[in-house]
Amino acid sequence: MLLEERISNKVVEIGVIGLGYVGLPLALAFAEAGLRVTGFDILESRVDQIKRGVSYISDVPGEQLAAVRATNKLDATTDHSRLQEMDVCCICVPTPLTRTKDPDLSYVVRAAEDLAAHLRRGQLVVLESTTYPGTTREVLLPILERGGLKAGVDFYLAFSPERVDPGSKTHHIGNTPKIVGGIDPESTRLAQLLYNQVTGVVVPVSCPEAAEMTKVFENVFRSVNIALVNELAVLCDKMGISVWEVIDAAATKPFGYMPFYPGPGIGGHCIPLDPYYLSNKAREYDFHARFIELAADINENMPGYVVSRIVDVLNARGKGLSGSRVLVLGVAYKKDVGDTRESPSLRILRLLAAKGARVRYNDPYVEEIELGGDTLRAVELADEELRSADCVVIATDHTCYDYKHIAETAGLIFDTRGVTRNLVNTGVVRL
């Protein structure tokens, strides 16, 4: 049976390589659509938890995973030789940066090599990992063709960027349009047919490079606009103007404006990294992406700016930062998730500790963090904890926090998120 027929008849075998924040939700979506899915991961612990129906990702409820496991539509393994049994292989591995902020494609390369060793005719391979334009054709394709099979002839190859919004109650794979760009028209068509099984709208583009650039552009768009409003926040502070009042007023304009909000920096798996992926690639074309790099630089410096402001507000009360008790509320990179990847809150904690502050934190989604080689555990958000702090820093705006009560209880609050801007309290200082 042809691959097209296997997909349409829902008898296709799908392999998902990498069972993290992107791979596990994707595997679950395919399985819930009635397709047979096998997840591949190098971590035995993840495979074991999936087999037991236990979720390790907040966006995948345990009961939902257990229900799918009961249908025998979802399996997991560390045995990559089973990739040869798959009709479709989706690569969903991390694409971090090196210490010098260069793209680290080692996970993609490893997944491609594992797949190349077991690649067979008729398979469709789709890369979902966020990366720079050219990765599918320049990195993935040569590895997969090492065994003699040719893309577009013996197997199919496409790029379809993940669009996961961690913690969102509104957006999910089923209602978020998918972009697909194949190495040839048939690869694009098959990838489009595949994703039509789990989402209503699939948007084909001309090539993998266009799909890769689309993903990077989406996140660079956010990066530069966040940088703009962060820079505005710094200027407004120097001028004695409330940046929050300015943003709220500007948001009343019904056209030509989209509100973005300042904060302690940017975090997560895409926005802090993608500008560097694109600027790095741009250098191959003797092009300096100055605007993109400037935005990344502004956002990178926000945790340091926050700490400098905390020093100022403590000094204004006759206290030095060294020896002061500072309570940070929220270490996740965004509200209502337990994801701390690239979180600016962690950088703020490190900077505060390095300057001698006695740091503590509360986050209902994160039980412990590593700080300076030590393990720091979350403290209970009790009234005594709030009162005893020399400064309470609101770094993540979790919706479970009672900000009115926090403002009434704590003596000094530094609010990086503007969540207290409708509260009148002389002990609140806002970014």
Domains of the chain: 3-208 (3.40.50.720), 224-430 (3.40.50.720)
Asked if 144 and 112 touch (Cβ cutoff 8 Å), the reply is yes
pLDDT of 99: 86
Q: How confident is the model at residue 59 (pLDDT cuts 50, 70, 90)?
A: confident
What tens digit of pLDDT does each residue of 110-150 get? Answer: 999 999 999 999 999 999 999 999 999 999 999 999 999 99
pLDDT of 309: 96
Looking at residues 278-305, what average pLDDT do you find?
A: 93
Q: How confident is the model at residue 274 (pLDDT cuts 50, 70, 90)?
A: confident
pLDDT of 315: 96
% the chain with pLDDT above 70: 100
pLDDT of 170: 84
pLDDT of 387: 96
List the beta strands (DSSP E) in 29-163: 36-40, 74-77, 88-91, 124-127, 156-159
Q: Which residues are catalytic?
A: 270
Computed on alpha carbons and rounded to an integer, the radius of gyration of the chain in Å comes to: 24
Distance from C-alpha of 228 to C-alpha of 266, rounded to nearest angstrom: 13
